[in-house]
Structure 1
Amino acid sequence: MQITSKGQVTIPLNVRARLGLLPHTEVEFELVGDHARIRKAKPTPGTGARGNRALDALRGSADTRMSTDEIMALTRNDGQRRRKNK
């Protein structure tokens, strides 16, 4: 495995899976003698969880003209019954 000119390496899939490292997961490095350890960074107070970051990224991106009641009906499968009755 080689380090890119930007100092990047690809973490092997089996390592990412075992550590639960998903895209945008914060990690930290610890130097121990002549090697480095990588681990998931501990959440710091005041920082949003991944779910909050995902919602922030989506906020304001909807382009539908549906009311809240219509959206809720769709999530409850009432929307299918309503379309059939129209």
Structure 2
Amino acid sequence: MSALTKLSSKGQLTIPKGIQEKLDIAPGTEFYLTVEDGKLLATPKRTSISATKRLMDFAGILGKPPNGRSLSLEDIDDAIMDAVAEDEERIQREWREGRK
């Protein structure tokens, strides 16, 4: 579905009623705006329970850490980077061994 709309002097776009209904959006809905290949992509922000969660929304979901020690975000980032580096090394090693 597509429609033609016009940018107002205040920088606002009107979303035609048919598109609003198809997307199940209402006045006040917030949008994420992205520019891709010279095109504007507007994605409605969903505020329902099924909406994308923030990392902090999951804090404590698994209970207390087994060693009793909580990690800082920096510790978590470091652990993720170490795991990614190890995985990258493994992939490259397997690729080189497969080429022999």
TM-score by length of 2: 0.39
Higher relative contact order (CA 8 A, sep 6+): 1
TM-score by length of 1: 0.45
